[in-house]
Structure 1
């Protein structure tokens, strides 16, 4: 059946801020010329993960609806308040949007955003891709395996993660419970390299080919490794952090308990903390590869244990 392709844009009003400005969710809808699934792609659930917005923009600009079977719904800025302040959490209530789904229309403003996203976006899709990043400083690179391993592999990232205990209250928690095939992507952050933006764009298009939403052959995945054990290391001391490895270490293996970074007191020059790799074979998944200020409890490093990994 041939349909008429269309593009639409709407802003869903969540609430109004104290200055009278509406708080809204921007949603683009692209309908193809043939019947097919509804794919939803979201970005900036965390406000300091800006690479997702650029990936979504490029998908919007390059997608040819005359070749599209089905519908694509794009939400490039899921948390406008956190994006404005370039913070992980919503500044008005300091809650993490990706821990409160399905939200509450009578709750904190973060709960209200989640509720509006559920009712106007997540409840209207058949397949879901959620784009995340390392944040303002760290760089990250992996794809979660949620409830559709083949689709996660089709994003064609070399590292996947099968968590034993997934986070509660995420967008994917909600969609997985509804039986919606879901992918959570972690890419870039800090310096958002052009190659990572393009990998995100191509990953989405390859998944669309996998779903028969676009013509063309599905590009087979590269050699992939599935992590089942990842250590998240947060600095316990604030100060100036001097890393031993730069951002190029993402995706490489660090052997043994080598030093990852040293943190010193900028006032006294005292060395406050030495952070070491936790495993014998450490796959670098997220790192702070830049001399920078660090606060206690910040995201520091994520290292995968290659000795417990599933290697394809």
Structure 2
């Protein structure tokens, strides 16, 4: 009898572009030798967050079917058009894929991608982990608490976020409404440090041990801080932004009203904006750690208020 492959790969057709090129979603499926749940792993919902694809590649290469209980489905490039252009939004319609779920079969191209992801991926899983990042310049480090706090904690990041008002139309909005345990991870970005990639891989494997999908002891989480108040700081003016702190400031506390960055006009050298910390004790969650161009309204910084945080 022929040997049945324990790994499958398929390209799910979404639509065709104007030049005839097919737009498709790449889905890998790994079948374990033992029974268990179906875990879905996705990345690049935002096209400039490439670290997630590398994390999933390493997970794919290191998983052993002989040790796996259940099934793992991997969708490494959830928004191919945005990835091609290294943009957060889909270039053809400028929609944000992570705000349009569950999508619409006959809608904008971004809505069609969301609909296909729902029908061919999200509807076929029992547990969900979605990987995000800071983008091409900033780096970020935290895990959302959605509907399974223990699983979010098992990712073993030091900072978690319990939002009062979650974003609507995200992948996790859809899975949570269906009762699927869901974890949204924000890790790395910018220079895509090796350490952040490996922390992402380790977090996924630890969650799989927590789910009894892999053998071995679950690594207990470190001391974790749960943020309930995070301020997103967007520059009002574009220009060249000069940060006062480098990437190593992520995860540290800055006390008092300090300068985070200054933005100047590259043509006149006029200082256009000074960005300061908003709280008395400021936990740096997302930052721009290198001199770079910035547009008005870009993600500049995410700062947590440690005075309102939960300790554990």
Shorter-chain TM range is over 0.9
Cα distance in structure 2, aligned partners of 1:157 and 1:55: 15
Aligned partner of 2:269 in structure 1 is 269
Once the two structures are superposed, what CA deviation does each residue of 1:161-218 show, in whole Å capped at 9, x if it has no partner? Answer: 0000000000000000000000000000111000000000010000000000000000
Per-residue CA deviation, residues 10-56 of structure 1 (Å, 9 max, x unaligned), is 00000000111100000000000111000000000000000000000
User: Corresponding residue for 1:150?
Assistant: 150
Distance 2:266 2:24 in 1: 42
Secondary structure of the equivalent of 2:285?
strand
Tell me which residue corresponds to 2:282: 282
Distance in 1 separating the partners of 2:42 and 2:148: 18
Is the aligned partner of 1:308 residue 2:308? yes
Q: Which moved more, 1:4-13 or 1:128-137?
A: 4-13
What residue number does 2:119 align with? 119
Counterpart position of 1:77: 77
Structure 2 gaps, min length 5: none
Give the C-alpha shift of residue 133 in structure 1: 0.1
CA spacing shift, 1:249–1:139, aligned 2, 3 Å: same
The alpha carbon displacement at 1:5 in A equals 6.8
Cα distance in structure 2, aligned partners of 1:162 and 1:28: 31
Where 2:241 maps in the other structure, the secondary structure is strand
User: Matches of residues 76-225 of structure 1 in structure 2 within 5 Å?
Assistant: 76-225=76-225
Q: Partners in 2 of 1:26 and 1:268 — Cα distance?
A: 47
Partner of 1:38: 38
Pairwise CA RMSD = 0.6
Shift of 1:231: 0.3
Q: Call closer, same or farther: CA 1:219–1:5 in 2, change over 3 Å.
A: farther
Shift in Å at residue 154 of structure 1? 0.1
> What is the TM-score with the length of structure 2 in the denominator?
0.98
1:64 has 2:64 as partner: yes
In the other structure, the counterpart of 2:14 is: 14
* Counterpart secondary structure, 2:66: helix
1:21 and 1:230 mapped to 2: Cα distance? 41
Q: Could you tell me how far apart the structure 2 residues matched to 1:231 and 1:184 are?
A: 18
2:106 & 2:123 partners in 1: Cα distance?
Answer: 19
Q: Is the 8 A contact 1:5 1:32 kept in 2?
A: no
1:229 aligns with 2:229: yes
- State the 4+ residue runs in structure 1 displaced beyond 2 angstroms: none
State the distance in 1 between where 2:66 and 2:91 align.
41
Q: TM-score, normalised by structure 1?
A: 0.98
Task: Name the CA shift for 1:5/1:227 in 2 (closer, same or farther; >3 Å).
Answer: farther
SS at match of 2:47: coil
Structure 1 gaps, min length 5: none
Find the aligned partners of 1:189 and 1:53 in 2 and give their Cα distance: 12
- SS of the aligned residue for 1:304 comes to strand
The count of corresponding residues between Structure 1 and Structure 2 is 309
- Counterpart-to-counterpart distance in 2, 1:152 and 1:171: 16
